[in-house]
Structure 1
Amino acid sequence: MRTCLLPLAAGCTTALALLLGGPAHAAYGPAPKYAVATLPAPLRENAHAVVRRHEETLTVKSVGRTVETVRRAVTVLDEAGARWAQELVYYSSLNSISYFRGSVYDADGRLLRQLRAADIHDISLSDGFSLATDARGRVADLSQPSYPYTVEFEYEVVSDNPLFYSTWRPQPVEQLSVEQASFKVLMPAGLPLRYQEFRLPPGAAQTRRTQGSQELYEWQVHDLTAREEEPDAPSVADVTPVVLTAPTEFEVEGHAGRLNSWADLSRWTYELNAGRDVLPPALQARIAALVQGETDERARIRKVYEFLQANTRYVSIQLGLGGWQTFPAASVAANGYGDCKALTNYCKALLGAAGITAHAALVRAGSDEQDIRTDFPSSQFNHVVLCVPLAKSARPDTVWLECTSQSNPFGYMGGFTGNRHALLLLPEGGRLVATPRYGAAENRRERRAEVYLDAQGNATATLRTLRTGLEYDAVSELPGLDLAEQKKHISNRLPLANFTLTKVTLRPTPPGAAVPGLTENLALTLPALAPPSGRRVFLTPNLLSRWSAPAGTVGERQTDLWLDHALTQTDTVRLHLPASLRPEQLPAPVQLSTPFGTYSSQLQTLPDGTLQYIRRLQLPRTRFARTEYPAYLEFRRKISAADKAQLVLLKTDA
């Protein structure tokens, strides 16, 4: 606070305000706002940040234009909440930013400074695969060196792409509480709004009234306490309030459409791209020659797909309507590149030249993405893949192709687009279909270790590990790296305290396997793996697959139990002992069979004196009520205890 050095007669209103008990800020700044002291205690509990005020309004001007305005103030309580001091506003050739403003306040609510033009940076946001984005944004950061403080951002975006309406998520993450939030949608007369509500608290349901010539829909929430992070819980988007909205009619750069069903969206997208799959005659002849004499339908598709991978590369060129409309196939043929739409369309055309019918399909891609809301037809997609029904198959079957990758195994979707729904693009209007499912039978990790221990407790070992399905995803890039990088990646993944990796060889599974896989062969030295302790040596036979138990919750668990990663693990460890060591005590065998999965481990002595440890774990994709969490926690604790069980060896030459 500044000090008044002038007498009252000279007009020191600050001193006068103090004498009269009025606010000291009146003479030199705006009234304080968002003071942290006014926050109710329940909103600070378990929170890293608190949304003080969030006002979001979507104004639908017509079938071809929308305006979204957002005003959000967030009090940042600690460093873990500092992400809320940043704001990113997306724009493109179809979306323009009218204004972008911001302010930051101290703990007492006094204005520290306002956002300046120099503080706002323009950045590229290309993610390498998206279907409909020009991928640019403006970002601002009002972070402060001490906590707490409050940031306030305001912006407006005008969109000529009204295929996308707003999704309102007032509480999008854990450890975030909400003091007050509202969402309004203004619709022109005669143009109804489609919406769905989920998990709204009492009193937050939609209200609707006429406002002039528009219909106003409004939702409000307040005093939402922060949710704690819980292990094996649903995504926060599946447990907090949300309102989805979508148009019934829309128009993008003169291309009008309806959106009352999945067939409507499929038909509009198909018609937008119709007639763009024509190949040059010379290329058609080349593809026909490529598959000539090949009678197996799947083999013909593979040859075309491998041709695509060898002769194209991915680039993201998605401007304006190009976010939805593909380059012509002839353009890709001439240039050798395209985005996800263009390469999928090109592959579809190549297959057509080989006499095979295929369909483009919209999908929400991303290893961490949730599946779409299948009961709410709307534009929820960011990628396109190719679906190839096998017309001559003895049973209904389909090949799915990821056309943007030069290395993706034939027919494999993986965690990027597998285990979800896609929308087929058909002239009559398509339907949702399931992409390939990868469960415990497909997601396998099979490891065999030969460990040679000497009398001093040092060891050498060979490891052979096969990973398939989603377990393969984590190592799929290894074959493309040089040896030094391979060793680095593998060493970072091995849960061993002290070792040297002396040999690495990698072998992909042969073509034609049900799911792709990679076999990793390693040789290691393990100094001081099990140093003697007097006459005894203690060794945990489970060298590489020890599971820890998740933390127990304090108080009652709030969320259901979602176990979404199905897998099968098998470990076989053979311990070759020196003549001076013999087993004194073997861990007891363990067998667990529960609704959450099955587990077994056993150590036995083979006729040649070798000790053999076998561990098996299988987890299905399952979901349970939150009341089942204690039983699941007990299952995991028993696995953790069995995984850490020790073998006791006795020195016979002492």
Structure 2
Amino acid sequence: MRCIPFAFILFAGSALTAWAGPAPKYAVAELPAALRENAHAVERRHDELLTVKSAARTVETVLRATTILDEAGSRWASELVYYSSLNRISYFRGAVYDAGGRQLRQLRSQDIRDISLSDGFSLATDARGRVADLSQPTYPYTVEFEYEVVSDNPLFYSTWKPQATEQFSVQEATFKVVMPAGLALRFQERRLPAGTALAQSTVAGQQVYAWRVQNLAALEEETDAPPVSELTPAVFTAPSAFEVEGHAGQLNSWADLSRWTYELNANRATLPPALVAGMQALVAGETDERARIRKVYKFLQANTRYISVQLGLGGWQTFPAADVAAKGYGDCKALTNYCQALLSAAGITAHAALIKAGADEHDIRTDFPSSQFNHVVLCVPLKAAKADTVWLECTDQTNPFGYMGSFTGNRHALLLLPEGGRLVPTPRYGAAENRRQRHADVYLDANGNAKATLRTLRTGLEYDAVAGLAGLELSEQKKRVSNRLALGNFTLDKVAFQPLPTTATIPGLVETLALTLPGLAPPSGKRVFITPNLLSRLSAPTPAVGERQTDVWLDYAFTQLDTVQLHLPASLQPEQLPAPVQLTTPFGTYSSQLQALPDGSIRYVRRLEMPRTRFARADYPAYLEFRRKVSAADKAQLVLLKTDA
């Protein structure tokens, strides 16, 4: 064996080091095993710094390094940085590392795309962003992003949520806020781990607030669990005083935010005299207050359309009502302000209200006054009934009168009043309103083939899912209906939709279907087996592996009513009817039964009502048992005997 001179080894090692690039970091082998368990991605490091320069300017600096363990974690390989005319990006950098921590490449300018983020309703956003994707074909790998955003819209301070989703663990995350002298920070801590305490200090006359978490294990995704935002650590921050493009305000209460927004939009509701006279003529002779409001709302829907205008202060300040009257369009603020002016011309008082809109959005944090809103709606208190209010969505030309639905219902809105407004609840849609009521006539022949006619009424939030179907082409209607019918072999022969009258308290849509169902109940010897519950079978949740970790959170209340009339040929008779099922629990009530009628048909009646509620995790086994019993009853079969066999 030949020996290599020691000096040569030193030289070769130095040369390799010189050409090896940056020193390795974020090696996956260094990850604690506990952080990889149940995780698709691990936050190796997340440092967020909010520097408040003044009441009119903030600077947010973020560094994030995330190890992507598998394909399900690949969403974390990209980063989206928002910007607008009031928020500019100082820099946006990134790099990607292999499993050993060696840098594969850095983020290049051509890797960053500039995109529009308009959502069609927002209150205060220019809706643009820069997005970068450092995805790799081989797992695991680590991405690192750094960026800085300078904001002249200090209404929005940072919200720190280091663990944003299930199956995502955190090795280390820090959050720091630096406040100038004379400007107080408002903050609220939620669910911080034991031992995680605020570190507060004074540096060069500035107040520094710092939080840090380490080694947060991934949460397992559980059925019917609260949203992860209610389970993981968070720190919410907000200004006590702010200034947007010269408009200063305070933010120590909801009244403060309401007053600032109201004053910003004051004196913008003047209408042309001819339009004022038109509104007065429109409601002349109408004594019913709600009917007068309906006429004005119908005029709004017929004569305006929505466009998004969210530039700078325009994200908060409305177009004048006269401009909307002349042009026929506006954003959510402008159309709401315009409708308010139309109602005022008709002698009706209404108030604009800020709201957090979105079908998947949860209610605001009512105990922490801050800017949490993205939309504006109109609140119309009725004089005739002190406890009654009409709510109007002014951006939608087809929205039913007074209906908020899943977009803005079941949450709080902030009234905009000159003296400062308050939070008020929007309409609540519970089990009584969210109804799906179906009647089916099924005509079975001796060979188990069937024809069926289904008439289904959906109201409330059940209506939301089908509201747009009536306006589609027939081919598209059939496609969408077919995709959601949980049936095996079938042909959709007819589709028809009929909305409830516009005077209905809760909007609804009646869907009528005609189906051909070959082999619905194929014979087996001298028996035929059929499941009377054609379309409303509730599956049982998958049991948790190990001990349940979260509460049971049922966030959607509904009522389902099903009647199925089975019309049988003379050659088929029921062998035995299954016993009725009746379940009454805190989780919901259920009943189903079969009845033989004098004309030889069999009637199946089912009712399921579920509340919107929350239960302790100790109640999960009882909830699971309820769902299992419902599932078993829904799948129960009726046995028919062939009398001519």
Looking at structure 2, the residues matched to 26 and 152 of structure 1 have their Cα atoms a distance apart, in angstroms, of 23
The DSSP-based 3-state class of the residue aligned with 2:523 is: coil
The DSSP-based 3-state class of the residue aligned with 2:182 is: coil
Which of 25, 45, 48 is 1:56 aligned to? 48
- Residue 355, structure 1, aligned to residue 347, structure 2: yes
Looking at structure 1, the residues matched to 41 and 457 of structure 2 have their Cα atoms a distance apart, in angstroms, of 44
CA deviation map 1:218-237 (0-9, x unaligned): 00000000001111111100
Looking at structure 1, the residues matched to 230 and 315 of structure 2 have their Cα atoms a distance apart, in angstroms, of 28
- Residue 116, structure 1, aligned to residue 113, structure 2: no
Name stretches of at least 5 consecutive residues in structure 2 with no aligned partner: none
Which of 186, 199, 202 is 1:194 aligned to? 186
Which of 268, 278, 281 is 1:289 aligned to? 281
Contact 1:210 1:216 in 2 (8 A): yes
Letter in 1 for 2:553: W
State the partner residue of 2:546. Answer: 555
CA distance 1:102–1:12, shift in 2 (3 Å): farther
Letter in 1 for 2:371: S
CA distance 1:117–1:577, shift in 2 (3 Å): same
Looking at structure 2, the residues matched to 143 and 496 of structure 1 have their Cα atoms a distance apart, in angstroms, of 39
Contact 1:14 1:26 in 2 (8 A): no
Higher alpha-carbon deviation: 265-274 or 555-564: 555-564
State the partner residue of 1:398. Answer: 389
Looking at structure 2, the residues matched to 360 and 508 of structure 1 have their Cα atoms a distance apart, in angstroms, of 29
Looking at structure 1, the residues matched to 541 and 158 of structure 2 have their Cα atoms a distance apart, in angstroms, of 36
Contact 1:13 1:27 in 2 (8 A): no
Q: Following TM superposition, by how much is the alpha carbon of 1:392 offset from its aligned partner in structure 2, in angstroms?
A: 2.2
After TM superposition, the score normalised by the length of structure 1 is 0.97
Looking at structure 1, the residues matched to 7 and 398 of structure 2 have their Cα atoms a distance apart, in angstroms, of 79
Q: Following TM superposition, by how much is the alpha carbon of 1:9 offset from its aligned partner in structure 2, in angstroms?
A: 11
Q: Following TM superposition, by how much is the alpha carbon of 1:28 offset from its aligned partner in structure 2, in angstroms?
A: 2.5
Looking at structure 1, the residues matched to 254 and 478 of structure 2 have their Cα atoms a distance apart, in angstroms, of 47
State the partner residue of 1:97. Answer: 89
Which of 598, 603, 618 is 1:612 aligned to? 603
Looking at structure 2, the residues matched to 359 and 262 of structure 1 have their Cα atoms a distance apart, in angstroms, of 15
The DSSP-based 3-state class of the residue aligned with 2:452 is: strand
State the partner residue of 2:489. Answer: 498
- Residue 161, structure 1, aligned to residue 153, structure 2: yes
Q: Following TM superposition, by how much is the alpha carbon of 1:154 offset from its aligned partner in structure 2, in angstroms?
A: 0.1
- TM superposition outliers: structure 1 runs of 4+ over 2 Å: 7-18, 24-28
Which of 516, 519, 528 is 1:528 aligned to? 519
Looking at structure 1, the residues matched to 440 and 147 of structure 2 have their Cα atoms a distance apart, in angstroms, of 59
State the partner residue of 1:332. Answer: 324
Looking at structure 2, the residues matched to 51 and 390 of structure 1 have their Cα atoms a distance apart, in angstroms, of 52
State the partner residue of 1:341. Answer: 333
State the partner residue of 1:451. Answer: 442
Looking at structure 2, the residues matched to 568 and 145 of structure 1 have their Cα atoms a distance apart, in angstroms, of 46
Which of 7, 14, 30 is 2:22 aligned to? 30
Looking at structure 1, the residues matched to 14 and 529 of structure 2 have their Cα atoms a distance apart, in angstroms, of 77
Identical aligned residues as a percent: 77
CA deviation map 1:532-591 (0-9, x unaligned): 111110100000000110111111111111111100110000000011111112222110
Residue correspondences, number: 642
Looking at structure 2, the residues matched to 136 and 463 of structure 1 have their Cα atoms a distance apart, in angstroms, of 46
The DSSP-based 3-state class of the residue aligned with 1:455 is: coil
Contact 1:500 1:524 in 2 (8 A): yes
State the partner residue of 2:630. Answer: 639
Which of 289, 303, 306 is 1:314 aligned to? 306
Match runs of 1:588-607 below 5 Å: 588-607=579-598
Looking at structure 1, the residues matched to 343 and 628 of structure 2 have their Cα atoms a distance apart, in angstroms, of 52
State the partner residue of 2:536. Answer: 545
Looking at structure 1, the residues matched to 452 and 482 of structure 2 have their Cα atoms a distance apart, in angstroms, of 14
Higher alpha-carbon deviation: 74-83 or 555-564: 555-564
The DSSP-based 3-state class of the residue aligned with 2:524 is: coil
After TM superposition, the score normalised by the length of structure 2 is 0.98
Looking at structure 1, the residues matched to 406 and 85 of structure 2 have their Cα atoms a distance apart, in angstroms, of 31
Letter in 2 for 1:310: A
- Residue 152, structure 1, aligned to residue 144, structure 2: yes
CA deviation map 1:37-82 (0-9, x unaligned): 0000000000000000000000000000000000000000000000
Contact 1:590 1:642 in 2 (8 A): yes
Letter in 2 for 1:573: V
Looking at structure 2, the residues matched to 26 and 633 of structure 1 have their Cα atoms a distance apart, in angstroms, of 62
Q: Following TM superposition, by how much is the alpha carbon of 1:414 offset from its aligned partner in structure 2, in angstroms?
A: 0.2
The DSSP-based 3-state class of the residue aligned with 1:456 is: coil
Letter in 1 for 2:411: R
Contact 1:102 1:151 in 2 (8 A): yes
What is the RMSD of the two structures over their aligned residues, measured on CA atoms? 1.3
Looking at structure 1, the residues matched to 577 and 78 of structure 2 have their Cα atoms a distance apart, in angstroms, of 56
State the partner residue of 1:429. Answer: 420
CA distance 1:150–1:261, shift in 2 (3 Å): same
- Residue 625, structure 1, aligned to residue 633, structure 2: no
Q: Following TM superposition, by how much is the alpha carbon of 1:11 offset from its aligned partner in structure 2, in angstroms?
A: 7.3
